[in-house]
Amino acid sequence: MCQPNKNIYLPNLATIEAIVDETPDVRTLRLVFQDEAVRDSFSFRAGQFAEYSAFGSGESTFCIASPPTRKGYIECCFRGVGRVTEALRGLEVGDTVGVRGPYGNSFPIEEFFGKSLVFIAGGIALPPLRTVIWNCLDLRDKFKDITIVYGARSESDLVYKRELAEWAERDDVRLVKCVDPGGAGPDFDGKVGFVPTVLEEAAPSAENTIALVCGPPIMIKFTLPVLERLGFGDDSIYTTLENRMKCGVGKCGRCNVGNVYVCKDGPVFTAREVKAMSQEF
């Protein structure tokens, strides 16, 4: 894992190959490593994260939002809200960013083979599940039913709109798209309601099914009881925590929830593991 004498804070350089504005303030960068050896050797698992740098501004932590089944590039997706993310937003195609990683644990996708999957995401928290969604769609015959429940505050806050359209058209995916009350435009073709409520109405079967949840703390809080009512056990529910991080490698002491280091022990946890943690989210 760690080469002797290697500077663990040294990023690999990557070129921005494409930029997609998902919403007015959420952007996707597609990145290609400049060093051919890194391009060939870089491998990761769905759920892992990286430290992305805009040189001169610093580093920011995001999941790797593209699936490991798509080789040759990685993608990150972020909202421009701080010094680093604003600087990343200021970069153009062809510009260079730094990437350290991949870090953290991952979703045990092989353990999900032969099961149905329900993805539940809110707002900017779709990217951490999108890597898993595409990973699983690229291995579609390994899974039974795939349901995606995704909601955002308003229609314009929905990210990956092209892919939502693609998933909606596939007959091997059930997409339930929603926006909070007041967030729908006149032509909105999804549901209006909060994610937990919409999930309860959609009522996916819990039988032989894994639920993967990611969203703001308030969404998670109200979604877990719904999943429980639907019959999901705590070992069948996975989530990924998004704490503030700096080093990403268990040194800087900031991402811990109780004695759990999100960067090393996570970011992927089962609901059972989350419930056993000190409640400090």
Partner 1 sequence: MPQIITEENLRKLVDLLVKEKKLVVGPKKSGSMVLYEPLGTGSELNLDTLPRRSSKELYFPVCEEILRFRKEGGVVQVDDVDRSRFPETVLIGAPPCDAASPSILDAVFSWDYHDEFYLERRKKGTIIGIACTKCDDACFCSAVGLAPDAQQGSDLFLTPLKGGGFSCSAVTEKGEKLVAAHAPLFSEAASAEPVEFPAQGMEKLDLVMIKQWLSGHFEDPLWESISDICIGCGACAFICPACHCFDINDEGSPDNGVRRKHWDACGFSKFTNHASGHNPRDVQNKRYRNRIMHKFKYYDDKFGKTLCTGCGRCVRACPVGIDIAEILNTINGK
- Considering only 3-11, 37-45, 172-180, 206-214, which stretch makes contact with partner 1 by CB under 8 A? 3-11
Q: Does 37 bind partner 1 (CB under 8 A)?
A: no
- Considering only 1-9, 66-74, 104-112, 196-204, which stretch makes contact with partner 1 by CB under 8 A? 1-9
- Considering only 38-46, 47-55, 69-77, 200-208, which stretch makes contact with partner 1 by CB under 8 A? 47-55
Nearer to partner 1, 122 or 190 (CB): 122
- Considering only 52-60, 141-149, 187-195, 196-204, which stretch makes contact with partner 1 by CB under 8 A? 52-60
Q: Does 258 bind partner 1 (CB under 8 A)?
A: yes
Measure the CA–CA gap between 152 and 79, rounded to whole angstroms: 14
Q: Does 281 bind partner 1 (CB under 8 A)?
A: yes
Residue with tokens 């698992």: 45
59, 75, 155, 200: which one contacts partner 1 (CB under 8 A)?
59
Contacts with partner 1: how many residues (CB under 8 A)?
A: 50
Picking from 26, 33, 27, the residue whose alpha carbon sits closest to that of residue 11 is 33
Measure the CA–CA gap between 102 and 43, rounded to whole angstroms: 8
Picking from 63, 74, 128, the residue whose alpha carbon sits closest to that of residue 97 is 74
Task: Using DSSP bridges, classify how beta strands 26-33 and 12-21 pair: parallel, antiparallel or unpaired.
Answer: antiparallel
Q: Which two tokens stand for residue 88?
A: 């990343």
DSSP state of 157: G
Site for partner 1 in 164-223 (CB under 8 A): 216-217
- Considering only 138-146, 149-157, 183-191, 240-248, which stretch makes contact with partner 1 by CB under 8 A? 240-248
Q: Does 153 bind partner 1 (CB under 8 A)?
A: no
Strand (E) or helix (H) holding 259: none
- Considering only 9-17, 35-43, 159-167, 182-190, which stretch makes contact with partner 1 by CB under 8 A? 9-17
**Burial (CB count <10 Å: 0-12, 13-18, 19+), residue 37:** exposed
What angle (nearest 5°) sits at the alpha carbon of residue 266, between those of residues 38 and 142? 75
What angle (nearest 5°) sits at the alpha carbon of residue 142, between those of residues 140 and 147? 55
Q: Does 1 bind partner 1 (CB under 8 A)?
A: yes
Q: Does 113 bind partner 1 (CB under 8 A)?
A: no
183, 234, 264, 270: which one contacts partner 1 (CB under 8 A)?
264
Q: Does 96 bind partner 1 (CB under 8 A)?
A: yes
Residues 6+ apart with CB under 8 A from 131: 46, 47, 63, 64, 65, 66, 67, 68
Q: Does 142 bind partner 1 (CB under 8 A)?
A: no
108, 183, 193, 250: which one contacts partner 1 (CB under 8 A)?
250
Measure the CA–CA gap between 33 and 261, rounded to whole angstroms: 28
How many C-beta neighbours within 10 Å does residue 145 have? 15
70, 251, 272, 275: which one contacts partner 1 (CB under 8 A)?
251
Q: Which two tokens stand for residue 267?
A: 């970011």
Which chain residues interact with partner 1 by CB under 8 A? 1-2, 4-11, 13, 53-60, 79, 81-82, 85, 87, 96, 98, 216-217, 242-244, 246-247, 249-259, 261, 264, 278-281
